Chain A
Amino acid sequence: MKNLLLVFLLTFTTVFSPAEKYYVTFIKGKVILSRTKSPVKVGDALNPDDKLIFGDKTSKISCISPGKGRFDITAQTAKIDSKGELLAVLKANLVPASGTHHLSTRSIMSEGNTPETYFSSSETEDRILLIENEPLAIKPSYKLDNSNFFFVQYTADNTTITRKIEHSQNGLIFSNKLFSTESGPIKDQVILCYQSNANGEAKSSIIAKFYPILVSKEMLVQQIELIKMASDSNDKKKQKAEIVNHLFENYGKISSEELTRVFGI
């Protein structure tokens, strides 16, 4: 009888013990949760058996679990399924994010944004919020100097306009002149291109297509302060969520890192 009870208890605890949860803390690119058919969001709790569909090869999510720590799941490890989608089952693709550590000290600067993913957003239909004259860090694999640079191309007044994006050592600088013509600020889609120069041979490539929404920092600061004042909650996370919603709906996508860096939220 005792043995039967033991077997029952073991079976019960095995079957009904709560599965490890994986909380999403970072998303790069577009990642769909197969179970809900909706994009994965920061803060979502995933199960080990959840299937993820990655938008492209550069997509990635990071998650933390109470029992296992931090993990990265990238599209690199995903397999192409019968529909041609990059599919990964969570538990089979968990790679410890702290796999390597360096003895030397590392720069505390951010590694920079990946332009292919930063300048695209399904949530805002590719409207990207850019802060006027605030440098946007780009990952170092994109060299920035006189021969290697980003430029935008768009059509206005039946003319194709090409303009080089200014840069500093901190990243790309978006000014008013970049997206203005004689008839005023442009409203159409622009093409972001990168020109590289290797061994004296210049080569351009299209990086992304997006709708630029250029806003001054001062204007955004005023709006952020207003939202904070009007907010019912004192919880900073909730306030940040309200601000992000406002910016995404009324302007365009901006990364959480940029919000923290520029506005300290």
Chain B
Amino acid sequence: MVQLSVNGVARKYDGDPEMPLLWYLRDLLELAGTKYGCGAGLCGACTVHVNGQPVRSCITAMKDTAGKKITTIEGLSPDGKHPLQLAWQELNVMQCGYCQSGQIMQAAGLLKEKPKPTDADIDAYMTGNICRCGTYQRIRSAIKKAAGVKA
């Protein structure tokens, strides 16, 4: 039995301990905002926060989430108005939008570590998150906008 918290709600899980957190969130909790992209920690689409740190939920086994606080895109802010979510809208960042939950969760991790990131900080921190539509330029701008850093 694994006990964990997801977006502030206490949860108990007694299925396959090897099941990745991603599928627990998507299939069992119906929190589908966290996306599957590669299943191997290569693309970042499945990024969630575990105890405040961005991790790849596709390679995080349920047995390793015991006692942990999980935050998904659905729980990033109570009203969906995290500065990153607002900046993403203001700059019309998304194209297809599929990777953007993971991008936003990763960027939220960056801003916790470096509230005023440089371009180099952003590139280094966001490199694990693939966007096949190619929205990187606007992602970079939106992170700076959310951080109040000059474009």
Decide whether A and B assemble into one complex: no
Q: Which residues of B contact A (CB under 8 A)?
A: none
Q: Which residues of A contact B (CB under 8 A)?
A: none
